[in-house]
Amino acid sequence: MSTRTLSLTDDLYRYLLATGVRESDVARRLREATATLPMARMQISPEQGAFMQLLVRLIGARRTLEVGTFTGYSALVVAETLPPDGTILACDVSAEWTAIGRPYWEQAGVAARIDLRLAPALDTLDAVLAQGGAHRFDFAFIDADKANYDGYYERALSLLRTGGLIAIDNTLWGGAVIDTARQDPDTAAIRALNLKLRHDPRVDMVLVPIGDGLMLARKR
């Protein structure tokens, strides 16, 4: 028994994946293909994907956005759980990485739900806001360059409806958030955003210790 979150041994983690997570065959194959790449650490874990799927379903999300698509695993798992008319506005700057995911999106039959925008995400989100996108989204996943996290958060908050959910990845940042020797812009940006959300009256929040830390913020 424990009154705090367990540290997972390798064996316990394997049990968690085998017993506590449902992952589609297509998603597993994309995850395994991504794991062979040099940037593989940027991919979210299967238990985090399953957790996000349940969140998306719980809030009845239909219109979603993603900042930072990488090879498309998170977009795939969210798209799999959306209703048939659901959409993901997926923002990324890499044609190379996102192209890896597209065949898997097609195999899963969800490619039409994913609207990939290859441009700096702040530009894309500002354009959507300028076109009247405010309060029209249900869910946002933020997992891109950390120095811009605050800008992504503020735009996502404007784009979400009341009761919508923002999930922000890497908010424990491998433990660097408590390492005073780490003063680089990425780490500083994550620390600042975590502290800001802790006191932000616009949202309900909790930082969930799954993956590399997933901050959840529900728009009030």
Shortest distance in whole angstroms from residue 42 CB to Ca ion:
6
Contacting residues for 171 by C-beta, under 8 A, at least 6 apart: 177, 190, 193, 194, 207, 212, 213, 214, 215
Asked if 92 interacts with Ca ion (CB under 5 A), we say: no
Side-chain-side CA neighbours of 95 within 13 Å: the count stands at 0
C-alpha distance from residue 158 to each of 87, 144, 154 (Å): 18, 18, 6
Place of tokens 């399953």: 50
User: Taking contact as CB under 5 A, which single stretch among the options 4-12, 106-114, 166-174, 189-197 is the one that binds Ca ion?
Assistant: 166-174
The contact pattern for Ca ion, residues 176-215, with x = CB under 5 A and - = no contact, is ----------------------------------------
Q: Which of 148, 170, 171, 194 binds Ca ion (CB under 5 A)?
A: 170
Choice between 133 and 190, CB closer to Ca ion: 190
Contacting residues for 57 by C-beta, under 8 A, at least 6 apart: 81
Q: Which of 138, 143, 152, 176 binds Ca ion (CB under 5 A)?
A: 143
Q: Which of 169, 190, 197, 210 binds Ca ion (CB under 5 A)?
A: 169
Choice between 164 and 213, CB closer to Ca ion: 213
* Cα–Cα distance for residue pair 177/58, rounded to 1 Å: 30
Binding site for Ca ion (CB under 5 A): 143, 169-170
